[in-house]
Every structure is written in C-alpha cells, then in structure tokens.
C-alpha cells in the first residue's frame, strides 16, 4: 500500500473541517429550524447542545481518527477492537446514504442560481419549486452536483479537498457577511433581529420537549458528526497539534456561520411580513425565493445567496464522499480517482428516487436524522468512553498542555451526559419515524 496522504498544513485541516460542518444545515436548515421552534428560545438550547454535547463528541471522533490513521471501519480494527468495525460501518453507510439525497438538494441549489439570474421564479415561487424539485430536471442537476463532488475528491486530500475548501470557506463567510450587512438596511427588518436574538423564556419552558431533540439533532448534523467525516479528516492529520484547540475553532466558526445566516434570513422575511415558522423541506426555497422576488435587486441577491448555499453544500458533500472513498483507497489498489467516480455513480443511483418526489426525500432525510446519525454517534461515544478510554485520554492530551484533570472531565462527559443526550434524541427520533410510518397514531404523541 502506498504512503497515506496527510493535510499540508494545520490550517488546511481546520478549514476543510469547517467546510464539512458549514453546509445546508447552517445556511438553509438552521434559520428555518429556529423559526419552526420558537425563535431565539431554540437558539439558546441549540448553542448549549453544540458546546456541551457536540464539541466533546467531535473530539471523540478526532481521537479515534488521528490515532488509527485509517478510515472509520478499519480504524476500530487498528485500535485492536475488530468487533467494533460495525460502528464504523454504520457511519460509512450513513455518509453514503446522506450524500445520496444531499446531492439532490445540491442540484436544486444549482437550479436556483440560474433561476435567480433569469428571474424564473419571480412570478410564482411555489409553482417553480414544485416544477424543479422533482423529475428529470432534478435528476440531471443531482448528477451535476455529484460530478462536482467527485471532481474534488478525485484529486485527493491536499490537491482536491484542502485546496478547494481554502477557496470555498472564506468565500462563504465574505458573501454571507455582505448579505447580512445589506439585510440590515431593510425597512422593517428590526423585528427579525428581536425575534431571533431575544429569547422568550416562557416559550422555552413550554416547548422544551420538542425543542431539545430538534436542537441536539441539529447540533450533530451541523457539526458533521456520526458519519465518520470528522474521524476521516482527523485520520489525515499526521501531526500532533492540539485537538481541543482545533475542535474549538471549528465549532466556533461553524456556529458563527449559522448565526450569520440567520442575520440574513430573518430581517429579509420580517421586512416582508413572512412567517419564518412555516417549516418543511421545501419551505426555505419557497419563502426565501418568494422574498427575493419582492425585493429591489432581488436577482442579484438571489444569485449571491444561492452561490453561498452551493459552496456550503459542496464543501460538505466532499467530506461525505471522502468517508466512503477513504475506505476503498485504504483497502484496494485501484486509483483514488477511479474509486471516487465509481462511488459517485453508485451514490447518484441511490439518490435518484428522492429526486422523484419530496415525500421520498423526506423519508431519506428522516431515516438519516432520526436513526442512523444518533445511533452511530451513540455507539462511538460508548467505544471512546468505556472501551478505549485510557488510550483516548492519552491521545486527547497529545500535543496539548491539557491537564490530566481536564482530559478526565472530557472523558466523563463522553461517558455520561453526551451519550444520554444522544440516547434521548435517538428514542424520540425512533418514535417520530414510527409515527411517520403510521405505526403509531399521531394523537398519542
Ligand atoms: N454539516 C453539514 C451541514 O451542515 C452536513 C454534513 C453532515 C456534512 C455530515 C458532512 C457530514 O450541512
């Protein structure tokens, strides 16, 4: 086997991981989740979930990846626990599965860049969404988005992923920042800031049962946890920089971009009197596109916004494809580019049904969100916290000034609070899957 690749620089790793984390989850899903869950009250719980549950869990993926220097499946074997390879397999399958429909949504985004430029959706954003979100056109653009993803991954860790994310991530921040400044000039947008930034404690207390699982689920998804993506990226470290410091940087930057997206979306919606709580998979496209249609310079704004969304989606999609590609690169003699193309084609095929109808896509999403992700994170935490604890603590401290006490505090989080939070999310997720499948009547829930 040839020499395994590593990141060229520490910053390269951090930016690639931020690129993975910043995705449709931040720019598209987060503002609308916030809207559907009571505004700022949701954000309070979400921030707590990100830092208390998400951050320690990210470090758990990092310690396995960096120590094993292998893809998620073989990593467990390399650490001397062959039976646990099944956990890596769940993560790898999740990556494969999620990319299949993430790419369909990526295809919509490409369509919306063009639609903004030509004003195609200006006369009726709902009808437009209906027309482009399913059917042959959606399948074609799904193929295009997948081809772009393959194009990056085929070039490898440094020449493909590191180099491209170094361009994409700063562009996302600059363009989104520009949009936020522009949004601040809108008449009537002030109500959006209030809704977004001042939490209503009564709302929080009254709805904690639904806010909590939504916030924890969102935290995992946005931090790219549970799919082996962070584990895989850490496996290319080959250096002993501080994992907690790098992880904290990634978490903070990712949170910043999510909040920034809210500073764009909420003033726009409020200035036009649109309710941000009208959730649902397509709603963000319909409501936001509808808003662009009414604003001065809406075409330009639409193009910039959807370009941001495309860059965010692409820099995440490559991390998902890399998880699966890494497994085959580590285990076969075929070239990385051949493997990436083959896998891209297979994932494309898996995603095609979800390009036939929103209800199918919603199913794909629900299986990932409610079952695969929490299950995979939960098993990984048990492994790090209880099976491999001593080595994990040593690995976490490597390259840091972290005291034994600090590392032990992390360990106990990984052993208790974090898996408990995930378990609750998993159970509630299974319940909602059962409701979706009609196994439990809605009334009971
Ligand atoms: N974090 C990405 C987002 O917010 C989604 C993602 C999850 C990407 C897992 C890679 C791995 O959209």
Q: Is the CB of 29 under 6 A from ligand 1?
A: no
Q: Most confidently modeled of 120-124, 270-274, 341-345?
A: 341-345
pLDDT band of residue 444 (cuts 50, 70, 90) is very low
Q: How far is the CA of 127 from the centre of ligand 1 (A)?
A: 28
**Cβ(116) to ligand 1 under 6 A?**
no
Indicate the pTM of the whole model.
Answer: 0.94
Q: Is the pLDDT of residue 214 over 50?
A: yes
Q: Which of 273-282, 362-371, 398-407 has the highest mean pLDDT?
A: 398-407
Q: What average pLDDT does this structure show over 104-121?
A: 95
Cβ-based neighbours of 309, under 8 Å, separated by 6 or more: 24, 27, 28, 109, 112
**How would residue 280 be classed by pLDDT, with cut points 50, 70 and 90?**
low
What is the reported pLDDT for 287? Answer: 85
Average pLDDT over residues 277-284: 67
pLDDT at 1: 47
Question: What letter does residue 403 receive in the DSSP assignment?
Answer: -
Q: What ranges do the domains of the chain cover?
A: 10-444
The interaxial angle of helices 389-397 and 55-68, nearest 10 deg, is 90
Answer yes or no: is pLDDT of 443 > 50: no
Residue 28 CA, closest ligand 1 atom number? 12
Per-residue model confidence (pLDDT) at position 445:
39
Work out the mean pLDDT of the chain and round it to a whole number: 91
pLDDT at 441: 60
Helix or strand (DSSP H, E) at 394: helix 389-397
Higher pLDDT, 240 or 388: 388
Report, as an integer, the average pLDDT of 221-246.
94
Percent of the chain with pLDDT over 90: 68
Ligand 1 centroid–CA 220 distance in Å is: 9
Q: What is the mean pLDDT of residues 218-223?
A: 91
Statement: residue 2 has pLDDT above 80: no
The predicted model gives 82-86 an average pLDDT of: 96
* Closest residue by CA, ligand 1 atom 9: 224
- Per-residue confidence (pLDDT) for residue 105, from 0 to 100: 95
| Whether residue 35 has pLDDT greater than 90 | no
Evaluate: CB of 232 within 6 angstroms of ligand 1.
no
Q: Is the CB of 21 under 6 A from ligand 1?
A: yes
Tens of pLDDT, residues 390-434 = 999 999 999 998 999 999 999 999 999 999 989 988 888 888 788
Q: What is the mean pLDDT of residues 206-211?
A: 80
Pocket test for ligand 1, best of 23, 46, 97, 230 (most atoms within 8 A of CB): 23
Select the highest-mean-pLDDT range: 83-87, 205-209, 277-281: 83-87
The predicted structure's pLDDT at residue 239: 82
Residue among 342, 326, 348 at smallest CA distance from 101: 348
Q: Is 319 in the pocket of ligand 1 (CB under 6 A)?
A: yes
Alpha helices for 119-162 (secondary structure H) = 125-132, 136-153
Ordered DSSP codes for 307-323: HHHHHHHHHHHHHHHHH
311: CA distance to ligand 1 center in Å? 13
What's the pLDDT score for residue 261? Answer: 92
Q: Is the pLDDT of residue 24 over 50?
A: yes
Q: How far apart are CA 226 and CA 229, in angstroms?
A: 8
Q: Which atom of ligand 1 is nearest to the CA of 30?
A: 4
CATH-assigned architecture of domain 10-444: Orthogonal Bundle (1.10)
Sign of CA dihedral 17, 266, 220, 102: negative
How does residue 167 score in pLDDT terms, banded at 50, 70 and 90?
very high
Q: Which of 16, 17, 20, 109 is the best mutation target for the ligand 1 pocket, counting ligand atoms within 8 Å of the beta carbon and taking the most?
A: 20
Substitution site in 17, 22, 25 for ligand 1 pocket (most atoms within 8 Å of beta carbon): 25
């Amino acid at each position: 086997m040839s020499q395994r690749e590593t990141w060229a620089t520490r910053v390269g790793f951090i930016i690639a991981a931020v690129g993975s984390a910043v995705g449709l989850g931040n720019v598209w899903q987060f503002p609308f989740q916030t809207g559907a869950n009571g505004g700022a009250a949701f954000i309070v719980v979400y921030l707590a979930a990100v830092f208390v549950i998400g951050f320690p869990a990210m470090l758990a993926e990092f310690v396995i990846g960096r120590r094993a220097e292998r893809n998620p499946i073989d990593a467990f074997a390399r650490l001397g626990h062959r039976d646990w390879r099944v956990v890596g397999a769940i993560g790898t399958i999740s990556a494969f599965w999620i990319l299949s429909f993430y790419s369909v949504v990526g295809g919509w985004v490409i369509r919306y860049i063009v639609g903004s430029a030509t004003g195609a959706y200006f006369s009726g954003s709902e009808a437009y969404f209906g027309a482009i979100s399913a059917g042959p056109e959606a399948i074609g653009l799904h193929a295009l988005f997948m081809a772009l993803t393959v194009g990056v991954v085929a070039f490898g860790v440094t020449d493909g992923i590191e180099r491209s994310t170094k361009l994409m991530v700063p562009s996302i921040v600059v363009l989104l920042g520009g949009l936020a400044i522009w949004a601040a000039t809108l008449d009537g947008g002030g109500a959006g800031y209030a809704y977004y930034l001042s939490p209503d404690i009564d709302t929080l207390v009254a709805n904690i049962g639904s806010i909590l699982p939504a916030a924890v689920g969102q935290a995992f998804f946005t931090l790219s946890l549970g799919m082996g993506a962070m584990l895989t990226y850490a496996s290319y470290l080959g250096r002993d920089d501080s994992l907690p410091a790098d992880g904290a940087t990634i978490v903070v930057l990712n949170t910043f971009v999510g909040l920034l997206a809210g500073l764009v979306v909420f003033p726009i919606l409020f200035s036009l009197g649109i309710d941000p709580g009208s959730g649902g998979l397509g709603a963000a496209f319909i409501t936001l596109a509808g808003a662009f249609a009414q604003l001065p310079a809406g075409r330009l704004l639409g193009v910039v916004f959807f370009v941001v969304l495309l860059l965010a989606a692409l820099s995440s999609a490559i991390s998902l494809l890399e998880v699966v590609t890494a497994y085959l690169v580590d285990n076969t003699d075929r070239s990385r580019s051949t493997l990436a193309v083959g896998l891209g084609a297979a994932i494309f095929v898996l995603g095609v049904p979800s390009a036939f109808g929103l209800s199918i896509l919603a199913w794909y999403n629900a299986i990932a969100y409610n079952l695969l992700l929490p299950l995979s994170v939960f098993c990984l935490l048990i492994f790090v916290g209880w099976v491999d604890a001593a080595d994990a603590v040593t690995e976490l401290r490597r390259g840091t000034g972290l005291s034994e006490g600090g590392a032990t505090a992390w360990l106990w989080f990984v052993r208790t609070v974090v898996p408990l939070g995930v378990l609750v999310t998993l159970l509630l997720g299974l319940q909602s899957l059962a409701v979706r499948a009609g196994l439990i009547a809605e009334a009971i829930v």
